[in-house]
Every structure is written in C-alpha cells, then in structure tokens.
Chains A and B, each alone.
Chain A
C-alpha cells in the first residue's frame, strides 16, 4: 500500500495538469527504508513528449547524489499518461528499474482543462513493478502525514 500526504498527492496531480499534453514525471524521496514519501521533487521530462518520459541524465545524477547525501531513496516515482489510463504501459514495465519504488501513474486524459467538464478527474494509481511483474496497490491519501512525521521538507516548484 502507498500512504501519501494530501499535499504531495495534490502536487503530483498539479504537475501532471500543468505539463499536459506532455507527460510529467518526478520523484518523491523519503528516508532509506522508511517507505515514507516526504520530499516532492518534480523533474523535467527530457523527452518533452506526450508518449514518453525520461529524466535528463545530468538531472538524474544530481538527484541521486542529493538523495545519497541525505540518506534517502526514491519512494515514489511518478509520471503521467495524457491520453490513456493510469496503468503501466509495456514501455513502463520494460524500463522499471527501481524494485523498491512505488510507481505512481496519473492520467490527465479526462482532466478539466482538456474536456471543459465541471467534474474533472485525474486518475491516481500506484503499482509495484518487479522483474516485469505489475501489481497494483491501494493508495491511502492522508491529511496529517506531514505533521505526524517530523522533521520533513516538501519542496514545491
């Protein structure tokens, strides 16, 4: 199960809306072994594409250096699908290389700015992807997460 703070959940959804129709991507880092997604880090999609995402190689190195220095790991790796459901594509499965991460998929295919509908929805789902096997997990969005575990940092872009 993925337990994630409301503010971080909303930040991921906001990033996906903002970058639509391109895919948005990023990480939520947390202390090593804690399974707590605490530090929201939106990344640039170097592919700038509606069908592909990739972290820039220099950004990737800086990100991992920084997480290493802070004894963190990527607890959540998120990206958006802009025309299809929030489920890992074959490419996502083939390229998933963080067996400990929660892979969060967000779909903006029906979000308001695109459809103009009042009750717009952005799908938000979480998966484990290990050795090519996908398993969906429950997502629990909690309001008090930030206050229950201190100190913590949320970096808003």
Chain B
C-alpha cells in the first residue's frame, strides 16, 4: 500500500503526464520529499523557500484541507488519498 496523490494539470509536467502518483511518508512534508525524489521539481511548486505550503496551492488529505490539520505537519498513512489543486483566484 502507498499514498495515492492526485496531480493537477499544471504539475503533470513533473509526473510525465500522470494524473496520479504514489508516495510514502509519515507526514505531508515527508511525502512531498519522497514525491520530489521521484518527480524532481514538484516540491518547489508546493512549498516555499521558507518551508511553508504555497498560499495558492490547496492540498487535501482525504477531503480535508491541510490548512486546518497542521499543514505540512499533517500526518498521513498508507491508504490515504492526497489531492493537490491550484487555487482558482485572482484580482
């Protein structure tokens, strides 16, 4: 078992066009590191230089927006489903 991660269109350049990829880790931060090792550049699109999630990228663990569950410290486990969606926003 692994953690399934749904990748939005704009990030599929990092995943060879795949809509979903698999990864592992005990926290979202560890999962992102694992994904970045297989799909270089992905982390940079999700996490700022200061080590925080980008304001306009939404990440959900099993339908729960991680902003409300500890952001990158959110615990994840095998069988979880993670969805990444760019915010739809503007001025």
Known: A95-B56, A97-B56. A60 touches B88 (CB 8 A): yes
- Could you tell me if A55 and B89 are in contact, using CB atoms closer than 8 angstroms? yes
Within 8 Å CB of A100, what residues of B?
A: 9
Q: How many B residues, CB 8 Å from partner?
A: 17
Docked pose: A99 CA to B65 CA in angstroms: 24
The minimal Cβ–Cβ distance linking B84 to chain A, given in whole angstroms, is 10
Q: CB of B16 within 8 A of chain A?
A: no
Docked pose: A60 CA to B87 CA in angstroms: 8
Contact with A along B8-20 (1 / 0, CB 8 A): 1110000000000
Among A12-20, A83-91, A141-149, the stretch that binds chain B is: A83-91
Within 8 Å CB of A110, what residues of B?
A: none
Within 8 Å CB of B87, what residues of A?
A: 54-55, 57, 60, 95, 97
- 19 additional A-B pairs beyond A51-B91, A52-B91, A99-B10, beta carbons within 8 Å, are A43-B88, A54-B89, A55-B89, A57-B60, A57-B65, A57-B87, A60-B85, A61-B60, A61-B65, A61-B83, A61-B85, A74-B88, A77-B88, A79-B90, A88-B90, A89-B91, A91-B91, A95-B87, A100-B9
B residues contacting A by CB (< 8 A) are 8-10, 56, 58, 60, 63, 65, 67, 83, 85-91
